[in-house]
Amino acid sequence: MTGTRNIEIQGINPAELFGVNDANFKHLKSFYPKLKVTARGHVVSISGEDEVMDEFERKFNLIIQHFNQFNSLTENNIDNLMLSDGGTLLSTDDGSETIVHGNGGTKIKARTVNQKKLVQAVNTHDMVFAVGPAGTGKTYTAVALAVRALKAKEVKRIVLTRPAVEAGENLGFLPGDLKEKLDPYLMPLYDALRDMIPAEKLGDMIEFGIIEIAPLAFMRGRTLDKAFVILDEAQNTTSMQMKMFLTRMGMTAKFVITGDMSQVDLPHRQRSGLSYALDVLKDVEGIGVVRLGQSDVIRHSLVKRIVAAFDVAEAEERKNEIKKSTK
């Protein structure tokens, strides 16, 4: 029998999938001369014999799966798929160090020893603290692990949160509504996600709540289940906020808490919730702690030297304070 079917492309920009000048789409069509295949927007229409349409639809779904996994598609990928059952297409990377494939097929990997320890800790613990200075990849690695878990359907959503406390600024003085006031504080999380998920798909995921980015205050009273949850900039939580957050953990959740104890922006003499939690929970079974240092800094080479200089200066200041207090 012959007929016509429509296949809807969801969560992917068809222009990225089909390639420059529709090169990928034209290459795919060349394998099905007995089918009439057209595309308009997010809908691919096929006409022909049912058996051939079944085969096209199965292969096309594998192509979508490949694009979702690797954020990339080439004519060579299509050739491999058409000449096999498609099993090898979805495992073209050895997976030894790659956490997830970013936009354009970029391999996002753990690049330092301690980043690899963070990956291992998240694989073996449901709650992990990652502590270290700026530029060590704490947040980026954690977000990559969250995206990997979502793509593998290990979780149903990603929740990213930060306390809205930054360098002495006050939300009330910022222009706009609540979302516009909060977005600048959450921008590092958006930046990491944009490297890993195509813009159109990311927008849909945020709109439908598959990815939620919110200030820490919005976590109160909730139970976060079947989710990969990241608390970023945790050094700026109070002890009560930290307790509130950690007790939001549902039965099938992953929690990663990242922070830098050298960048605490809380009022003077108020103890960081991150510092408090690391002390209180140090003997609790099932919690992983990974400490990153200067050797893990992967930004501009100057950042590593800046971190080292500040560490020396802060150590000297603490020494002077101790001297003054003992006089």
Residue pLDDT tens, the chain, 327 long: 788 999 998 878 888 888 888 888 888 898 888 899 999 988 999 999 999 889 899 888 888 887 877 777 877 778 777 765 554 444 444 445 788 888 877 888 888 888 889 999 999 999 999 999 888 889 999 999 999 999 888 999 999 998 876 534 444 555 555 556 666 777 888 888 998 988 888 889 988 999 998 888 888 889 999 999 999 999 999 999 999 999 999 989 999 999 999 888 888 778 999 999 999 999 899 999 999 987 777 666 677 788 778 888 988 888 888 877 776
Q: Are 266 and 236 in contact (CB under 8 A)?
A: yes
The tokens for 133 are 């200075």
Three-state DSSP state, 190: helix
**Residues 291-303: b if buried by 16+ CB within 10 A, e if exposed:** ebeeebbeeeeeb
Q: Which of 75, 60, 62, 68 is nearest to 22 (CA)?
A: 75
